[in-house]
Amino acid sequence: MISRRDLIRNSALLLGGQAILPANWAGYSRNKHLKIGTCDWSIGKTADVTGLQLAKDIGLDGLQVSLGTLENNMHLRKKEIQQAYLDQSRTTGIKISSLAIGELNEVPYKSDPRTDEWVWDSIEVAKNLGVTAILLAFFSNNDLRNDNKGKEAVVKKLRSVAPRAEKMGITLGIESYLTAEEHLEIMQQVGSPAIKVYYDFRNAADAGNDIYHELSVLGKNNICELHIKENGFLLGKGTLDWPRIAKALSDIGYRGDGWMQIEWARPEDLSIEQSYEHNLNYLRNIFN
């Protein structure tokens, strides 16, 4: 039995410990383990099944995989390629965390009819692989900023494909330079819970958006997954205030609910292994 004196002493130590915990601790302390992955293109394994083994080697929980490239005709749509990924996932213990169609940046969804089939087919692929989110990229040739015609085309396309996504329990995540309000406008026009925002803090900041305001506007339920990156820098070595971001996520109730995918957080003078050792430790210290 513990003595009254020891009880008082231990309680005082506990209270003292709480006083020095980070501000975001309350939101994340119950998470035994965050789900942290990376994008296959960020480790040089775009649409390459061996990326799962590399993800294991560098200590990740999962891998966001590309549907494919223009050259291989989005090869993950083939059943044998899907099976190869499932087999490798079981062998390595690394989850296939989500899908991404990065090729939309060069072959724009807003204007190229070939992409309609890619997005339509990706929903069944996601279902077969046991993932629930698909990233639709809207950068470069697919940028929607100051493009009302492009937005209208995307809304029309998403209205067509959203019922299929809903039926299969899949979310289509829009990643773009648009503001939170513009994302919400597209979502409201489509009118489907299958359409959400794939939020990237670095992209938002680079576009001149206030990420803390945006998180409060979007709320937890309109975000499907997160990209965590600092282009050319390790996490914590760039310009984004990640502890404040962690607090902002906690404030909206986003507490490790979905995957965090590390993207492009690597300096040129460091290896993939060195970069991810730092980035993983940094994220787990902040969010856990």
Q: What is the pLDDT of residues 194-225, one digit of tens each?
A: 999 999 999 999 999 999 999 999 999 999 99
Whether 172 shows a pLDDT value over 80: the answer reads yes
What pLDDT is recorded for position 288?
74
The stretch 271-280 carries a mean pLDDT of 97
The CATH number, out of the four listed (3.30.2010.30, 3.20.20.150, 3.40.50.880, 1.10.3470.10), of the domain defined by the range 23-287: 3.20.20.150
What per-residue confidence (pLDDT) applies to 56?
Answer: 98
pTM (whole model) above 0.95: no
How would you label 79-104 residue by residue, b for 16+ Cβ within 10 Å and e otherwise?
Answer: eebbebbeebbeebebbbbbbbbbbb
pLDDT at 9: 43
The whole-number average pLDDT for the span 52-78 is 98
For residue 28, pLDDT over 50 is answered with: no
Nearest one of 88, 85, 121 to 103, comparing CA atoms: 121
What are the boundaries of each domain within the chain?
Answer: 23-287
Q: What distance in Å separates the CA atoms of residue 16 and residue 151, rounded to the nearest whole number?
A: 53
Task: State residue 254's pLDDT score.
Answer: 87
State yes or no: pLDDT of 48 exceeds 50. Answer: yes
Task: Report the alpha-carbon distance of residue 65 to residue 156 in Å, rounded.
Answer: 26
Q: Which tens digit of pLDDT belongs to each residue from 94-127?
A: 999 999 999 999 999 999 999 999 999 999 999 9
Distance CA 178, CA 188 (A): 15
DSSP string, the chain: ---HHHHHHHHHHHHHHHHTS-TTHHHHTT-S---EEEEGGGGT-TT-TTHHHHHHHTT-SEEEEE---TTTTSGGGSHHHHHHHHHHHHHHT-EEEEEEEGGGGTS-TTT-THHHHHHHHHHHHHHHHT--EEEEEE-GGG--TT-HHHHHHHHHHHHHHHHHHHHHT-EEEEEES--HHHHHHHHHHHT-TTEEEEEEHHHHHHTT--HHHHHHHH-GGGEEEEEE--TTS-TTSSS--HHHHHHHHHHTT-SS-S-EEE-S---TTS-HHHHHHHHHHHHHHHH-
